[in-house]
Chain A
Amino acid sequence: MNRFSSAVPDDEYLADSKVLFYVSDAVSQLLEHKEEYTHFGVIRYFAEYFSSVKNSNHVLFREYSYIRATPHNRASFLRVLWRCYRQIGKSGDLLSMLEYRSLLQLLCPDFPLEPVQNAARIVLMDDAIDCLMSFSDFLFAFQLQFYYQEFVHSVLVIYQDLLAGKSPNTVIVPTSTSIEQLPSVTPEESGKEQQQDGVEPSTLAQCIEAFCDRFKHSHPPRSCMTEVLEQTNRISYYSFLMSLAKHEAINQAIGALPSKAEFLIDPEMDQELDKLIAQISVSPGSNSSGSAVGGLKEVLQRKASPRRNIHHRRKIEVESDGSTEETDSSEN
């Protein structure tokens, strides 16, 4: 139990908790919208801010830099993503990379293209990146890419170094033997082209192992990576990531998405949806042909924290009276 191990110094406990990050964001947000929150009570504001962080509603409609700032935020965003667009998976629709990006931008307006691209590369094994993907394939690949973005990036550097035949710059490999055997020129594997530019899994494993020892961001459980790397005798970067993306234990370690088997099951949301659909069919004036996404967003907004709703109302007011508000005072 944590509380009994007072061996951890206070500042370390604080740093681990990431609380200061949230406190500072809460204050920035407060300053940005102070008029409405003072009316509301500052304490109540903090109560709602931290409740929404706790309930993972806090990432909705926030900027990209915020949603990727902590592991908790990343996991929360993945969960929101799944909850919002699960219907797509259910209906079996296949979408393109750009369509997925549009969906992401509905939740996070400044979501950049690159992570979406990278996720698509994992799904499509770096081939024909415009192909359509199923929602679950995309989401699991996106999860790996988004949650472990620093790690995934570093592995690419290591992999490319290995391919180029040099010792990966960030890794000290103890013996030179592993490097001497370096691949890409070895002609014995003349199978597919894809396979040819793979590396030897044991070498990669060694490098990753050494790298993880010094890595300060989170990375997938080592046992899972070892397991994946033991399965083949030749592995490419994308096939490695694909196996990791599909690895159930890694999914559990992140803890944001359900297992693949339960991917489409969410009775609570189904209920909400049924209610919504009932409402729509009762009121003929409403746009019943509206997209599933719009409806889902509506449900989600209702479920999101009141703070968000206020935020929105506020935005609308601001827009309507035409006043321009400076919002950058508290950034940096």
Chain B
Amino acid sequence: MADKEKRRSGAAPLGMPDGKATKSDNDREFLSQAGVGELLRGAILKMVEARSDDPIGFLADHFCNLASVTEPGTAGCGDADQMNNGPQSAGAQEQQHLNRALWHLRLAHHSQGSAFSNNVRVAYDLLNSTGPRRRSGEVPEGPDGCCTDSQTEVGGGVRGGLYTQTLQCLCSEGGVPASTSAPLLRRLHCQDHEAVPYDVFRHGVLTCAVFSDYIRQAQRLYAEVCCPDEGPASQALGLAVLGTLKEALETSQGSEANCCVNANTKSNSCLEVNVKAMRYLEASAKISPYKLGQAMAVAPTRGPGGNMDAKEFENAAAELFITRVKVLS
């Protein structure tokens, strides 16, 4: 892109008077000095990678985010990254890094394998660099507790508190009510003082992303099956649907790996299972109307009485998912 711009402005001087030529040279110099080419190339690459449905909106967000990162406070521009000795409090800086990390995580859907992985890595490194004591290149204060990681991190790992906060934000941004995501977060929780290694971070992030999708599917399923407009669905019906959902979950997991919680499980395989489960779920939410219909037909005759509202259904569906989440520790 920069090349294109340069060519564009560089093409002019040939037949032009001298004044024009110098102006064009100035332009070129200005663009390269300001790093415009790099800036635009980076933005467009990100955009193409993310394949956003709203490219202009994507670029707007991209530059706004960059701007808020590079110029803290209201005024000034440029090298704010080096300004960590400034008046800015550590808390504000941490918040800024968190926002930036979340923004990176939002860029690509988790089904977009490599793009998503890259973004997780970037987010991790960002969060890892938070905290002034770790930036200055000192040896980190030792791996507190659980995490001795084979690939040693420069910053020693993301702090547990920050990690938990990231997951919370991911879930709430994904449209999952706090009450629904709370059990999952408890399960993935790390202590505030822990240093979270990359594998654990990635696992947590991916799980939350998949979970948000899953809950949305479940909400849609409830709406589809139970006609919420006509008041809450009968409990029997809800249970029947949940039963089908559970079966689908079990099929998908049974086929891939066993579900034991094992500290040494290769995290990768377990991530794959998660993603696979998601795929199966998407399918099961759609493809087995016959099975669903069957279950629903039987349900009213023998299920328990009473009603089940959307929230109860959501919680039950969430529980099905959460019990199948592995804990890496």
Contacts and interface: CB of A to CB of B under 8 A. Distances in A.
A23 B9 contact: no
Q: How large is the interface on A (under 10, 10 to 19, 20 to 34, 35 or more residues)?
A: 35 or more
Given A1-B53, A38-B34, A41-B71, A330 B112 contact: no
Interface stretch (A9-17, A81-89, A141-149, A307-315): A9-17
B1 interface: yes
Contacts of A39: 77
A24 B5 contact: yes
Interface string A42-69: 1110110111011000000000000000
Interface in A1-34: 1-4, 6, 10, 13-14, 17-20, 22-24, 27, 30-31, 34
Q: Which of B23, B31, B63 has the largest number of chain A CB atoms within 10 A?
A: B63
A283 interface: no
A45 to B, nearest CB: 8
A6 B48 contact: no
B34 A329 contact: no
Contacts of B109: 3
Contact of A54 (B34, B48, B51, B60): B60
A232 B290 CA distance: 49
A262 to B, nearest CB: 25
A22 B36 contact: no
Contacts of B20: 326, 329
Contacts of B23: 326, 329
A50 B63 contact: yes
Q: Which of B35, B51, B78 has the largest number of chain A CB atoms within 10 A?
A: B51
Interface of B: 1, 4-5, 8-9, 12, 19-20, 23-24, 27, 30-31, 34-36, 39-40, 43-44, 47-48, 50-57, 59-60, 62-64, 66-67, 70-71, 76-78, 109, 111-112
**5 nearest A-B residue pairs (beta carbon):** A41-B77, A47-B63, A17-B55, A50-B60, A46-B63
18 contacts: A10-B48, A17-B55, A18-B55, A23-B44, A24-B4, A42-B35, A42-B36, A44-B71, A44-B77, A47-B64, A47-B67, A50-B56, A50-B59, A50-B60, A51-B60, A329-B20, A329-B23, A332-B8
